Amino acid sequence: MEQLFILTLDASNFILAIILVAMGLVIIFGLMNVINMAHGELFLLGAYTVVMVERLGGSYWLGLVLAPLAVGLVGLIVEELVVRHVYHRFLDTILATWGLSIAIKQAVVVAFGPASHTVSSPIAASIEIFGAPYPAYRLFIMAVALLVIAVTFWLFFRTAFGLAARGVIANRDMAACLGINTRRLDRATFAYGAALAGLAGAVMAPIMSVDPQMGLGFLIPAFLSILVGGAGHLAGPLLGAAAIGGTDTLAANLWSPVVAQIVVFTMAIVVIRLFPRGLAGRWFGG
């Protein structure tokens, strides 16, 4: 029972971490039809912002606040310089952002070196759950993820910005005809998505080894979650991440992490093939 509870906590932890990354991706994909392959590197930049702030003598919490701002700014620049020129060439957005991801990753190597850094956990305490100690910081991560989900849903379903954004998702040309400034919306969306990636990176930094390769490890599960869950609906990544993260944690506990990855990826490919609109598309018709 106790083991089952810890397993559930671990799974929820992984699922919420994927959602943190996938949320930004699905917003950018849904609104702009851009597959952002550089998202993993925006995550990376978030983690390195914390490393840099700590190196300059700031606290972890300052880094956590600065990371989404800094990475959001990077997103704004990237959108202006690169992404906006390839909107109309769908497959080329994948390539252009992929090239960006290589460049950003390498820029990090140039600036910080290829070795890994550690960020010490700002909340060292652990909490007793059913008699077993569980790191309190992991609970903090889960709280942040839930907060991000809540804010994003509020933003998209309760504000004027969200209404306009959903209008553009449904029919871009019609929304533009009705006077919605799609250009400004695109810019804001990309920056928001990037900021979420930066926040995710900063939040995850203390429990990962911060190195230039850390982005890819999250990018692929996040992409698969979106496709499995359904890219057309904001709830898609929630379902997808639950399927991917849950299966992964379970398989890793039953067998090994390697088997888990193979099982999860294979399962994802089959689900994507059978339900191209994702689980959310199937259930919500969205």
List residues binding another protein (CB under 8 A).
Answer: 35, 82, 85-86, 89-92, 94-96, 98-107, 109-110, 114, 220, 223-224, 227, 258, 261-262, 265-266, 268-269, 272-274, 276
Tell me whether residue 70 or residue 104 sits nearer to another protein (CB atom).
Answer: 104
281-285: long-range pairs with CB below 8 Å, 24+: 281/230, 281/232, 281/233, 281/236, 282/230, 283/239, 284/233, 284/235
CB of 261 to another protein, least distance (A): 6
Distance (Å) of CA 246 to CA 8, 14, 17, 86, 114: 9, 8, 12, 36, 32
Choose among 225, 6, 210, 245: nearest CA to 115. 210
C-beta of residue 96 within 8 angstroms of C-beta of residue 83: yes
Tell me whether residue 96 or residue 175 sits nearer to another protein (CB atom).
Answer: 96
Tell me whether residue 101 or residue 152 sits nearer to another protein (CB atom).
Answer: 101
CB of 236 to another protein, least distance (A): 13
- The DSSP-derived string for 157-208 is HHSHHHHHHHHHHH-HHHHHHTT--HHHHHHHHHHHHHHHHHHHHHHHGGGS
CB of 175 to another protein, least distance (A): 22
Establish how many alpha carbons lie within 13 A of residue 36's alpha carbon, considering only the half-sphere containing its beta carbon: 33
Place of tokens 């903090």: 140
Cα dihedral value 253, 254, 259, 261, nearest 10: -40
CB of 214 to another protein, least distance (A): 15
Tell me whether residue 96 or residue 243 sits nearer to another protein (CB atom).
Answer: 96
Tell me whether residue 136 or residue 270 sits nearer to another protein (CB atom).
Answer: 270
CB of 270 to another protein, least distance (A): 9
C-beta of residue 82 within 8 angstroms of C-beta of residue 96: yes
Choose among 110, 30, 39, 42: nearest CA to 71. 42
C-beta of residue 29 within 8 angstroms of C-beta of residue 37: no
Tell me whether residue 53 or residue 280 sits nearer to another protein (CB atom).
Answer: 280
CB of 212 to another protein, least distance (A): 10
CB of 100 to another protein, least distance (A): 6
Tell me whether residue 87 or residue 153 sits nearer to another protein (CB atom).
Answer: 87
Residues 198 and 67: their CA atoms lie apart, in Å, by 6
Tell me whether residue 7 or residue 262 sits nearer to another protein (CB atom).
Answer: 262
CB of 133 to another protein, least distance (A): 32
Q: Who contacts 72 (Cβ-Cβ below 8 Å, separation ≥6)? A: 191, 192, 194, 195, 198
